[in-house]
């Protein structure tokens, strides 16, 4: 084994401090709001949102330039006793996506939770900004965590920040939804913690790199992995564990729904991938992979059919999230197949991550558009949205673009991801997933056209209660365009997403 490979992930790299900044900046923001009081919370949040975006871009650029992952050893205590933060290609791309979406949501939320100078800040708006920052911190921590327990803490931070976002409006149904989310997520966390206990008991370490070497295919590893995965699936709301998602995402305020659907559910998904591909490579049996993908297929079919039957726009989008999450789980049987030498060099790896990123942008745009519509007409009953395309053309156009990404129509990130995943099914010979993906695209087309058809029908537009400022509509369009821009990615396994992968595995061989 080459000696220079050892150096890489055992020491803080030159720009490693950026990783700490990425986690700390939002926390600083929260502390500043506690110090300065509620009146300045929006301004502080926006400043720190901008700073965080700059940090995310810097991390992405650093990983791209150095062609290796960024590492930061906290306190200079090396694992297994200390904690390492590691940003490989996937993490860097994830953090950039998170940063862009959260900044967009922050700007969008100024409409609902913004504070003019004179008014007394409401509790809801104060809470929103603090929670947004906390969610961002949690997501960044999840992206760069290299230690299973660190990731557990990040997971909990994410959940605790996301739950109050659901019931920010204070209605009885939203509080019930928040409680349901909280308790189900807690059950998931406890199962995850139980898995950690078993792993530590068996292998004596929780650092991902070290673990990847020590793990053996034995019952304790299987049970631990299964417990952790089940717990994380509860948080990702994979079918049939999706009970909390529709009321939670539909009941939250629009910026809250956007961040919940686009980013929060993906946080636990990243952890599942890290678990099976990084921490315990070789443990993913064919049966387990097919089981996960089967649940994903169930999610796609179920979620799409149910989305078609919804009468409310926000519930339709929430069920669409349930469906789209299913696509992500095709990464398990397809990326770990035999035709590619390593999982991350297969086209399914790139396709799966691209699906995650483009869905994040598309879903954020959809919820933001739905929020604008609901604000404009006072309700979100689809049947009563006839002709709204005339009143809010930019918003509906953005909704349409996001919908095209969900359907997998070029040019969009969704199309590229779909092509890559379909190619992977052909190469692996697992054609049944291709059938599911195509049917899913059909059904997605169904519910997207259901909404667009109503919006673009030729009757006179409904009377708008409130006029929507142009810049909000343009912001939604910009987010939807990001989903379309991802369609420019070439149809090959991405090199960027493989940066830093070998680090984890060669380190373990010491």
Partner 1 sequence: MNAEMLLVLTLALPLVTLAGCLSRQFRRHVAVLLVVAPLPALATACLLADGSTVVLPPALLGLTLVLDRPGAMLLGAAALLWITAGAYAGRRFRGNPDGARFAVWWLMTLTGNLGAFLAADMVGFYLFFTLASLAAYGLVVFDGSPEAKRAAAIYVGLAVFGEALLLMAFVLMATATPDSSLLIGDAVASFATSPWRDYAMAFLILAFGLKIGLFPFHVWMPLTYSAAPIPAAAVLSGSAVKVGVIGLIRFLPFEVPMHNWGEVLVIAGLFSTFYGVAIGITQANPKTVLAYSSVSQMGLLAAVLGMGLSAGEKSAALVAAFSATFHVLVKGGLFLAIGVATPTKRGVWLVFVPAVVLALGLGGLPLTGGALAKLASKPLMGQGIVGVLATLSAIGSTLLMLHFLRRMWSSTTQSEARASLLPWLATALVAIVLPWILYSVVTDEPLRDAMLPKEIWEALWPVLLGSLASLALWRWGRLLPRLPAGDVIAADKGLVRLADASGAAMEKIDRYLREWPVATALLVGLATLLSVSASLGR
Partner 2 sequence: MTSGVLLGYCGAVLVGLGLFGLVTNPEILRKILAFNVLGNGVFLLFGVIARRGAAAGLGADPVPQALVITGIVVAFSATAMAVGLLVRLNKVSGQTIMTSDDPTNSGK
Using CB under 8 A, which of 9, 91, 125, 229 touches partner 1? 229
For the chain, the maximum distance between any two Cα atoms, rounded to a whole number of angstroms, is 72
Closest separation in Å from C-beta 22 to partner 2: 21
Could you tell me which stretch among 35-43, 88-96, 147-155, 449-457 binds partner 1 (CB under 8 A)? 449-457
Closest separation in Å from C-beta 175 to partner 2: 5
Using CB under 8 A, which of 422, 436, 455, 476 touches partner 1? 422
Residues 348/335, Cβ–Cβ less than 8 Å: yes
Taking the least distance from each CB to partner 1, the nearer of 98 and 366 is: 366
* Site mask for partner 1 (CB under 8 A), range 280-319, x = bound: ---xxxxxx-xxx--x------x--xx-xx----------
Using CB under 8 A, which of 3, 75, 170, 219 touches partner 2? 170
Could you tell me which stretch among 77-85, 135-143, 152-160, 186-194 binds partner 1 (CB under 8 A)? 186-194
Residue 9 gets which letter from DSSP? T
The answer to whether the bond into 411 is cis (omega within 30° of 0) is yes
CA 90 – CA 354 distance, rounded (Å): 10
Could you tell me which stretch among 164-172, 359-367, 478-486, 494-502 binds partner 2 (CB under 8 A)? 164-172
Q: How many CB atoms lie within 10 A of CB 81?
A: 8
* Site mask for partner 2 (CB under 8 A), range 243-282, x = bound: ---xx--xx-------------------------------
| By CB under 8 A, residue 111 contacts partner 2 | no
CA 2 – CA 507 distance, rounded (Å): 10
Using CB under 8 A, which of 37, 204, 217, 240 touches partner 2? 204
| By CB under 8 A, residue 174 contacts partner 2 | yes
Residues 346/333, Cβ–Cβ less than 8 Å: no
Instruction: Say which entry of partner 2, partner 1, none residue 58 contacts (CB below 5 to 8 A, set by partner kind).
Output: none
Instruction: Say which entry of partner 1, partner 2, none residue 506 contacts (CB below 5 to 8 A, set by partner kind).
Output: none
| By CB under 8 A, residue 488 contacts partner 1 | yes
Using CB under 8 A, which of 427, 464, 478, 481 touches partner 1? 427
Q: What is the DSSP string of 26-91?
A: HHHHHHHHHHH-GGGHHHHHHHHHHHHHHHHHHHHHHHHHHSS-EEEEGGGPPTTTS-EEEE-HHH
| By CB under 8 A, residue 225 contacts partner 1 | yes
Give the CA count within 13 Å in the CB-facing half-sphere of 91: 29
Could you tell me which stretch among 60-68, 85-93, 166-174, 432-440 binds partner 2 (CB under 8 A)? 166-174
Strand ranges for 323-371 from DSSP E: none
Residues 88/503, Cβ–Cβ less than 8 Å: yes
CA 263 – CA 165 distance, rounded (Å): 13
**194 by DSSP, 3-state: which?**
helix
Looking at the chain, how many residues does it have? 510
| By CB under 8 A, residue 179 contacts partner 2 | yes
CA 187 – CA 228 distance, rounded (Å): 11
Q: Kindly report the three-state secondary structure assignment for every residue of 242-280.
A: CCCHHHHHHHCCHHHHHHHHHHHHHHHHHHHHHHHHHHC
Using CB under 8 A, which of 48, 95, 182, 307 touches partner 2? 182
Residues 196/148, Cβ–Cβ less than 8 Å: yes
Interface positions, 309-368, toward partner 2 (CB under 8 A): 311-312, 315
* Alpha-carbon distance values, 205 to 40, 223, 228 (Å): 43, 17, 16
The residue ranges that bind partner 1 (CB under 8 A) are 180, 184, 187-188, 191, 217, 219, 221-223, 225-227, 229-231, 233-234, 240-243, 283-288, 290-292, 295, 302, 305-306, 308-309, 407-411, 418-419, 422-423, 426-427, 434, 438-439, 441-442, 445-446, 449, 453, 456-459, 487-488, 490-492
Q: Could you list the residues that contact partner 2 (CB under 8 A)?
A: 81, 149, 153, 156, 160, 163-164, 167, 169-180, 182-183, 186-187, 189-190, 193-194, 196-197, 200-201, 204, 246-247, 250-251, 311-312, 315, 374, 379-380
């Amino acid at each position: 084994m080459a000696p220079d490979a050892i150096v890489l992930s055992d020491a803080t790299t030159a720009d490693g401090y950026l990783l700490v900044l990425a986690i700390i900046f939002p926390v600083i923001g929260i502390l500043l709001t506690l110090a300065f009081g509620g009146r300045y919370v929006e301004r502080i949040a926006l400043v720190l949102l901008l700073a965080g975006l700059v940090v995310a871009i810097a991390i992405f650029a650093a990983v791209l330039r150095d062609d290796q992952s960024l590492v930061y050893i906290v306190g200079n205590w090396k694992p297994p006793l200390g904690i390492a933060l590691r940003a490989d290609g996937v993490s860097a791309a994830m953090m950039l996506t998170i940063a862009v979406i959260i900044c967009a949501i922050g700007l969008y939320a100024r409409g609902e939770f913004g504070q003019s100078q004179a008014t007394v800040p409401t509790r809801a708006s104060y809470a929103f900004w603090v929670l947004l920052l906390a969610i961002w911190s949690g997501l960044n921590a999840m992206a760069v965590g290299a230690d299973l327990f660190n990731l557990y803490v990040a997971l909990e931070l994410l959940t605790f920040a996301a739950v109050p976002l659901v019931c920010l409006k204070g209605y009885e149904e939203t509080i019930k939804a928040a409680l349901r989310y909280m308790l189900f997520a807690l059950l998931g966390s406890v199962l995850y913690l139980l898995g950690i206990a078993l792993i530590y008991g068996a292998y004596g370490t929780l650092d991902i790199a070290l673990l990847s070497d020590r793990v053996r295919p034995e019952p304790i590893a299987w049970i631990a992995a299964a417990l952790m995965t089940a717990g994380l699936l509860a948080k990702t709301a994979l079918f049939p564990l999706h009970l909390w998602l529709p009321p939670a995402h539909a009941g939250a305020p629009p910026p809250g729904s956007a961040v919940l659907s686009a980013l929060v559910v993906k946080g636990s998904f990243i952890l599942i991938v890290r678990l099976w591909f990084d921490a315990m490579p070789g443990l993913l049996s064919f049966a387990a992979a097919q089981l996960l993908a089967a649940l994903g297929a169930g999610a796609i079919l179920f979620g799409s059919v149910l989305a078609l039957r919804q009468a409310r726009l926000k519930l339709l989008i929430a069920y669409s999230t349930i469906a789209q999450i299913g696509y992500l789980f095709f990464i398990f049987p397809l990326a770990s197949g035999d035709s590619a030498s390593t999982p991350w060099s297969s086209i399914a790896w790139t396709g799966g991550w691209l699906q995650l990123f483009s869905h994040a942008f598309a879903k954020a745009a959809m919820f933001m558009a739905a929020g604008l519509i609901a604000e404009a007409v006072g309700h979100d009953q689809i049947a009563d949205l006839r002709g709204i395309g005339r009143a809010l053309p930019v918003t509906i156009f953005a909704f349409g673009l996001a919908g095209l990404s969900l359907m997998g129509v070029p040019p969009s990130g969704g199309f590229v991801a779909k092509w890559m995943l379909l190619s992977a099914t052909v190469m692996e010979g697992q054609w049944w997933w291709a059938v599911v993906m195509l049917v899913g695209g059909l059904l997605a087309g169904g519910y997207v056209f259901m909404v667009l058809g109503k919006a673009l029908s030729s009757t006179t537009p409904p009377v708008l209660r409130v006029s929507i400022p142009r810049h909000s509509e343009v912001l939604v369009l910009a987010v939807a365009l990001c989903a379309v821009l991802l369609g420019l990615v070439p149809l090959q396994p991405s090199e960027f997403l493989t940066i830093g992968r070998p680090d984890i595995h060669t380190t373990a061989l010491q």
